[in-house]
Amino acid sequence: MGALVAGFLTGLSLIVAIGAQNAYVLRMGLSRSYVALIVGICAASDIGLIALGIGGLGGVIRSVPVVLQVFRWVGVSYLVYFALASFRKALHPGALVPSESSQVSRTTVVTTTLALTFLNPHVYLDTVLLLGSIANQYGHLRWSFGLGAATSSVIWFTGLGFGARLASPLMSRPSTWRVLDIVIGVVMTLVAVKLATTHLASQ
């Protein structure tokens, strides 16, 4: 139980920080667009990465540090593109009412969610390297730690995606969507800058 709780708290502390992925989940949750699909992809991705970290993938990443650099610059490029798209949407708030969110295709949603998840090297540093290393310190209880971390991911994304609906009355105003997209654009930009300037230590 101690390993389970430790994994839950550690996982939650890493995932709650405002980032590109969380901002996207929030926006789609507010628009009630493909929420279950997005939550499922995010949670499943985290669970898979945590399992790989506990299983030893961290050692592979450490031995080939260029992998993180490739993800860094591809991720920066995508985040800048996403930020510009958000700012462009903010210029036309009339197109951001929830009823029009269904115009977004399932393919676009899946691609965007996967990109925001896997093109950020910090995802690998946090889930594969950090959580994997901490989990393995628990010896035979490492999978209990991993279960706790995975549970925190499921709870967080479910709450963020479906809980966003509680704010739906505010979403009937185009001005609210304008502010939201500006905030998301700023978040994406800041994450891109941080990703481009941070030293990615794989140790």
Residue 135 lies in a domain: yes
DSSP symbols for 9-60: HHHHHHHSS--HHHHHHHHHHHHTSSHHHHHHHHHHHHHHHHHHHHHTHHHH
Q: Which residues contact 148 (CB under 8 A, 6 or more apart)?
A: 3, 4, 5, 6, 7, 8, 9, 10, 11
The token pair at 163 is 């809980």
Asked whether residue 167 carries a pLDDT value surpassing 60, the answer given is: yes
Question: Which are the contacts of 80, defined by CB distance < 8 A and separation ≥ 6?
Answer: 188, 189, 192
Question: Looking at the domain assignment, is residue 186 inside a domain?
Answer: yes
CA 117 to chain centre: 5
Range among 75-79, 94-98, 151-155 rated most confident? 151-155
- Is 203 a member of any domain? no
**pLDDT category of residue 17 using cuts at 50, 70 and 90:** low
Residue 85 has pLDDT above 90, yes or no: no
Tell me if 114 is assigned to some domain: yes
Q: What is the pLDDT of residues 23-38, one digit of tens each?
A: 899 889 988 889 999 9
Supply the pLDDT for residue 99: 45
89-93, 115-119, 183-187: which has the minimum mean pLDDT? Answer: 89-93
Amino acid at position 4, single letter: L
Average of pLDDT values for 94-119? 75
pLDDT at 101 over 60: no
Does residue 121 lie in a domain region? yes
Q: Higher model confidence: residue 175 or residue 25?
A: 25
Q: DSSP label at 203? A: -
State the chain's mean pLDDT as an integer: 82
182 domain-assigned: yes
Tell me if the pTM is above 0.85.
no
> Is 202 part of any domain?
no
Total domains present in the chain = 1
Cα–Cα dist 177/158, whole Å: 22
Residue 56 belongs to domain spanning: 2-197
Per-residue CA distances from 18 to 64, 68, 92, 107, 176 (Å)? 29, 21, 25, 25, 19
Residue 84 lies in a domain: yes
